[in-house]
Structure 1
Amino acid sequence: MGIAGILAALCGLIWFAYRGWSVLLLAPAAALIAAAFAGEPLLAHWTQTFMGGASRFVSQFFPIFLLGALFGKLMDDSGSVTAIANFMAEKLGPRRAILSVVLAGAFVTYGGVSLFVAFFVLAPMAQKLFRRAAVPRRLAPAAIALGTSTFTMSALPGTPAIQNAIPMPFFGTTPFAAPGLGVVASVIMLGFGLWWLARAEAAARRKGEGYGNEPSVHVDATQDQAIRERAAAAHEFDLAEIPHGHRADAPNALIAALPLIVVVGANLVISLLVLPRVDDSFLSEERWGPTTLAAVGGVWSVIVALSAAIVTLILLNWRRLTAIRDSVDAGVTASVLPAMSVASLVGFGAVVAAMPAFAVVRAWVLSIEGGPLVSLAIATNVLASLTGSASGGLTIALDTLGETYLRLAEQGGIDPALLHRVAVIGAGTLDSLPHNGAVVTLLAVCGCTHKESYLDIVVVAIIGAIIALVAVIALGSAFGSF
């Protein structure tokens, strides 16, 4: 009955989430279903197990949600994201329309701009360029996804994406874990995705397809409640806050890019130069947990990097941000729903892990042939696909099995940095299934349907990521972390 309860809970969670129900209610309801099938005390699991798991996630990662959403909103309202997109479009031109969109998306998201903020700037840019270049409109979602939702989210060393931060407390790693392997994975994802999109563009030209008709029905993704609820569990920005605030005229490209450079530079300096020299003995005191610098240092470096970038952005754009209080309010508010939605998924995972039947699931996962790297990759893949959330699936996997994988890694001489990179890339593959909130939002913003554009998203965001994941596991198994 225990396994049946876990499966029933998962099926209910997936079905109702896909139909737009809020995960804030679905996750505890699904957790109670799993507990009921196992004959476990329901209220105790809700208030102790579920809320314990959810609160741990919030206490660890809410500062990153808060600062990341605020930074993204300020970048948008200052016109900086638009300036970078326009710069790419101007320099590369319509002849390289797809490359322009991909690189613009990659630059802003690697610099810390929220995925959804980037969507709402890149979609009009892509439509304009694609129309001038006679590139099919249906390829725009895949081009945007390649630049924003693949290598800059999971592979590129130092990315401030929440997915890259989640493994750090579990494995004692930094945002720059396994940098060489991350670069290799990034090159594979980018190269494979660009090859596919170039092939699709060439095929469309041979058929004389052209840009195509404008969408007959425009969906306002910021106001559609079903899209908003799906999106909340997928990434760290609440769509409803995007229209709030005041968007200024775009600055020049250098001013726009400087805060992004600060994010990456400060992250690197704090992670590799400052924190290793800090006397962390005070963290052993009872009032701090106790904890260790290895457990919190990675999150601290991202917090400091985003804070420095926010200050830089405000100083550079003070006159441009004429409604700064509105922008700040919208940015911080935009962090709450996504953080609580992912925390609810984590709470659901905590209840499932507490079920006696979960021992069977744990044994099956750990028995997968290929060693802990393959097992970890499959676990994060499956959970990200079931929850429709890379961050939710990744946290559930590490909450339930992280200590076990770390112990196996120590026994097998595997660098925890390699576990980190495999886990993050693994979570960023099958999370892009049709019910994923980012996919639904991207298609709505671009005015495309799953039928028109989803196949290309699958190739660039799922197949390319899986190829990169296999390469990282193979190289890591042969040569270790680098």
Structure 2
Amino acid sequence: MSTMAILISLLLLMFLAYRGVTVLILAPLMAALAVLLSGAATDIMPTYTQLFMKELGAYLIKFFPLFILGALFGKLVADSGAAHTIADWFMHRLGRRHAILTVVLACALLTYGGVSLFVVAFAVYPIGAAIFRESGTPKRYMPAAIALGAFTFTMTALPGAPSIQNAIPTAYLGTTTFAAPGLGIIASIVMLWMGTWILQSRARKAMANGEGYGPHDDELPSNEGVKRPGLLVALLPIIVVIGLNAAFSYWILPSLDLSVLREERFGNIDPQSVIGLWSVLLALMCAIVFVILLNWRRWENLTVTINKGTIGALLPIFNTASEVAYGAVIAGMAGFAVIKDTILNVSPDHPLISAVLSMNVLAGITGSSSGGLSIAFRTLGSDYLRMIEAAGISPDLFHRVATIAAGGLDTLPHSGAVITLLAICNLTHRQSYPQIFMMTTVVPMTALLVVMVLGSTFGSF
């Protein structure tokens, strides 16, 4: 009963989210429906106030500053004229025919540099909107272009990627984030080439049929009468974010004595667990101050820019937090344990197949690649290691397969990342989700198949 309740709730959540119903209402309602259908009607209110809202609040506590700073940084980059400068430069170098590739490469550069995918979406959106509008490319393809650059190969495949997805397996398999570098690079090339080719082909067909950017003229500042910055000045804030994020992550913060975090008043936590988040926050703070001072004479109304940028973060953060809270409710139900045990024990004699199935299903249910990876490795991490040793499979190969697999079904319609991306772009599931699904599910799964074939034939490399 509980398992069926979860499936009904999940399917309804995806269907209604695709139809455009806000997840702010859907998430608590579908969580309550799952509890009701499982036969625990009296648990609905305790689940809502003591579990759903608690998890929603916990997400806000951890990531609210990241969303605020990311949105503000992106708005400042747009209103300073930097977005138009960068757009013009790329348009002249790559041409109008490569607007999609421009956005993909910009996102890939930022995420591989360690910038959070949410921050990347905020920062690249104004640049992408300018490029798409200048070239007449339909805007509905922009979320898919951002997702291809930020949610796929730089998150799960490129060796050394500083993503949480690439880091989770290391604690269980004894690998590093550079596991199976050759296979990771091949998978990245497949995703980049295949995804860009599909998106550009579809966009060109739409443009040939007379479709343009669309009625979104009020989304970006025109910057008429404002002297745009030169290319170096326009790029410097982004370079500052990447450089300072790396500096804080690998040198500055690790060199400090952060033992105070082990005191009870600060939660008695491992300092290493917050360095990554602190690094991004500090880098964004510095970059925000930097871009304001760098463009001091270009602001028409700095107060308005700051207010709009800050307020623009509210809907994305609450959408994502609500989705996380829904996942927490589902994960606490008895039926979820049944689903988890079933999928984790499929094809136990073939660890790679088992990993692909388990990572995809768990990521799909939770709407999160890191969530799926965490559940799978926390539950069967030691068993996976034993299985691959018995089968003679390299831990590095297993690491890369598991990580790419978790980036498959993690972007179903109820995914917090998808909902946030669409909110940032001011588009709906109906307008853009088919393209997002193709870029973040079909393309990565194709690359995963290539990795599995090569890995099974030649081993890890």
Normalized against structure 2, the TM-score is what?
0.75
Partner of 2:3: 3
Q: Secondary structure at the match of 1:190?
A: helix
Shift in Å at residue 256 of structure 1?
0.9
Q: Any conservation in 1 of the 2:152–2:444 contact (CA below 8 Å)?
A: yes
Measured in 2, the distance between the counterparts of 1:130 and 1:97 equals 9
Measured in 2, the distance between the counterparts of 1:96 and 1:78 equals 24
1:349-364 counterparts in 2 under 5 A?
349-364=327-342
1:266-305 counterparts in 2 under 5 A?
266-305=244-283
* 1:334 partnered with 2:312: yes
Partner of 2:445: 466
Measured in 2, the distance between the counterparts of 1:126 and 1:211 equals 15
1:345 to 313, 323, 343: 323
* 1:365 partnered with 2:343: yes
- RMSD between aligned alpha carbons? 4.6
**Paired AA for residue 125 in structure 1:** I
Q: Any conservation in 1 of the 2:404–2:444 contact (CA below 8 Å)?
A: no
1:45-124 counterparts in 2 under 5 A?
45-94=47-96, 99-100=101-102, 102-104=104-106, 106=108, 114-115=120-121, 118-119=124-125, 121-123=127-129
Structure 1 residues 425 and 60: alpha-carbon distance in aligned structure 2, compared to 1, 3 A threshold: farther
Measured in 2, the distance between the counterparts of 1:380 and 1:366 equals 9
Measured in 1, the distance between the counterparts of 2:269 and 2:351 equals 26
Measured in 2, the distance between the counterparts of 1:12 and 1:137 equals 28
**Paired AA for residue 58 in structure 2:** R
Q: Any conservation in 1 of the 2:19–2:429 contact (CA below 8 Å)?
A: no
Partner of 2:407: 427
* 1:255 partnered with 2:233: yes
* 1:403 partnered with 2:401: no
- Report the count of equivalent residues: 440
356-365 or 301-310: bigger deviation = 301-310
Q: Any conservation in 2 of the 1:146–1:460 contact (CA below 8 Å)?
A: yes
1:371-386 counterparts in 2 under 5 A?
378=357, 381-382=360-361
Structure 1 residues 38 and 441: alpha-carbon distance in aligned structure 2, compared to 1, 3 A threshold: closer
Q: Secondary structure at the match of 1:357?
A: helix
Partner of 1:16: 16
Structure 1 residues 466 and 220: alpha-carbon distance in aligned structure 2, compared to 1, 3 A threshold: same
Gaps of 5+ in 2: none
Q: Any conservation in 2 of the 1:366–1:372 contact (CA below 8 Å)?
A: no
Q: Any conservation in 2 of the 1:138–1:448 contact (CA below 8 Å)?
A: no
Q: Any conservation in 2 of the 1:155–1:185 contact (CA below 8 Å)?
A: yes
Shift in Å at residue 421 of structure 1?
9.3
Q: Any conservation in 2 of the 1:50–1:351 contact (CA below 8 Å)?
A: yes
**Paired AA for residue 77 in structure 1:** D
Listed one character per residue, the Cα deviations across residues 229-281 of structure 1 (whole Å, up to 9, x for unaligned) are xxxxxxxxxxxxx5699885431111111111122212222222234434343
Structure 1 residues 170 and 23: alpha-carbon distance in aligned structure 2, compared to 1, 3 A threshold: farther
Normalized against structure 1, the TM-score is what?
0.72
Q: Any conservation in 1 of the 2:262–2:269 contact (CA below 8 Å)?
A: yes
**Paired AA for residue 53 in structure 2:** M
Shift in Å at residue 334 of structure 1?
1.8
